[in-house]
Structures are given as structure tokens and as C-alpha cells.
Amino acid sequence: AQSVTQLDSQVPVFEEAPVELRCNYSSSVSVYLFWYVQYPNQGLQLLLKYLSGSTLVESINGFEAEFNKSQTSFHLRKPSVHISDTAEYFCAVSDSSGYSTLTFGKGTMLLVSP
Amino acid sequence: DTEVTQTPKHLVMGMTNKKSLKCEQHMGHRAMYWYKQKAKKPPELMFVYSYEKLSINESVPSRFSPECPNSSLLNLHLHALQPEDSALYLCASSQVISSSGNTIYFGEGSWLTVV
């Protein structure tokens, strides 16, 4: 069985500051990792994913995440956040052992203030 | 085009009503999903269809009845719901359900309130 831990339920940050949202996973087999973003009163949007290859993956809006197998982590980073980045961020994992359903972390609310 | 469309966006229903949530995708995906999301919580998997057949039912009460009429459509029939069933219901799809890291794409969700 796999699991995902997002230790920070809420991360407040000022606009233009850097941010890191932490995600750790647990699995006995190979994993695929995802970050989804949920803006207020909306559905989930895929932000970025790691399937294989380069351990550093980037999104089109400036976020990046690095897969670290030894630390079982997939932290999300952005060097300079905007007010519009305020949202709930979910880390999710699926593994290679069966159906590709997702196991989600509890989510981290990123609050960007002026 | 990575779009999953859900209707209605908002639904208020009484505990004796029968209603349905609808989901549509035109990406050629053969796996479709229903998730339930309560406020401030992550989505919880309810059902998975693979090639129009129910593959996973996560012990969901029978007052929720899924249906997959064809490869593009997924319905969730609701009957005799309880107020605690009020939540955001998310439909999703992926190419297939096999274990190769297929990306799951979500719709905007249907907000359900049971009164």
C-alpha cells in the first residue's frame, strides 16, 4: 500500500517570496508522483507529474518539483509566488502494482498575501 | 484538449429525491472515475470504470449508483441521500487503468447539497 504525507496544512507567504510545499510518500514499489492544484470552488487541475526520466519536473506557471528517491520526497517549489497562486495543493501517488488510482495527501493551503 | 465536463455544477436535493450527476469526456479515455470531496479534505475514490465495466467500488453505499452508458459518459444516480452526503463530486478520466502512471484528469465538479 502507498501513502502520502503533506506535513504542512497551511503555508502563508508574501507575494514575490519563494515557497516550498513538502510531500513525502511511502510505497514498496515504483511510484508515479503528481501535484494537483485546486483553486477556490473549482475542480482539480494537474500541475505537474513525475513518471520517469529527469527527476526535476516543471510546470508552465513557474512551479517545479524534484523527485528524490532516497528521501522519498517530491517537494513543490516556486521561486516567486503571485497572489493568484493562492489555492489548495495536493500531492498524489500511484504505483506500479495495480490500477493507476491516486492516493492523495491531505493537501496544503498556500495563502499568498500582498 | 484535456477536458472533463460535469453537469450540473450545483444541485440541491431533498432526502427523498432521485437525481443524477453527469460527466462527459471526448479524449478517448477508457477509464472513468467518481471521487467525493468534503470541505478541506482530499478527494476520496468512489468508483472506477474501465472499458465501460465497473472495476472498483470503494464500499460506497447503495444510495449511490454509477452507470457508464458508453465510453464517453459516466453518470452517478442519487437516491435517498443523507445530509452528510453533501460534498463536491468530481468526475475524472484517464487513458486506461493499467499500472503505467496514466495521468488522471478531473472535471470542475458538481456541488451537491442534501437538505
pLDDT in tens, A31-47: 889 999 999 988 999 99
Torsional sign, CA B90, A5, A85, A64: negative
Asked whether the beta carbons of residue A32 and residue B48 sit closer than 8 angstroms, the reply is no
Asked whether the beta carbons of residue B99 and residue A49 sit closer than 8 angstroms, the reply is no
Cα distance between residue B90 and residue A35, in whole Å? 17
pLDDT value of residue A98? 62
H helix and E strand count, chain B = 0, 11
Task: Pull the grid cell for residue A102.
Answer: 491516486
Residue partners of A53: CB distance under 8 A and separation at least 6? none
State the Cα angle at A20 between A16 and A26, rounded to 5°.
165
H or E element, residue A72: none
pLDDT value of residue A100? 66
- CB-closest option in B45, B90, B106 to A101: B45
| Residues of chain B where predicted confidence (pLDDT) is lower than 70 | 1-2, 98-100
Q: What mean pLDDT do residues A64-78 have?
A: 94
Residue pointed to by grid coordinates 472533463: B4
H helix and E strand count, chain A = 0, 12
Cα distance between residue B35 and residue B44, in whole Å? 5
Asked whether the beta carbons of residue B48 and residue A51 sit closer than 8 angstroms, the reply is no
Q: Which residues of B touch A43 (CB under 8 A)?
A: 6, 88, 90, 106-109
Distances (CA, A) of B81 to B14, B46, B66, B74: 8, 15, 14, 19
Chain centre distance of CA B7: 11
Question: Is residue A60 packed enough to be buried (19+ CB in 10 Å), middle (13-18) or exposed (0-12)?
Answer: exposed
pLDDT classification of A78: cutoffs 50, 70, 90: very high
Read off the pLDDT of residues B71-96 as tens digits, 9 standing for 90 and up.
999 999 999 999 999 999 999 999 88
Cβ–Cβ < 8 Å for B44, B35 = yes
State the Cα angle at A3 between B52 and A34, rounded to 5°.
65
Q: Where are the beta strands (DSSP E) in B14-57?
A: 18-25, 31-37, 44-50, 53-57
**β-strand partners of A95:** A31
Written as one letter, the residue type at A59 is S
A59 touches chain B (CB under 8 A): no
pLDDT value of residue B40? 87
- Round the CA-based radius of gyration of chain B to a whole number and report it: 13
- Round the CA-based radius of gyration of chain A to a whole number and report it: 14
A28 touches chain B (CB under 8 A): no
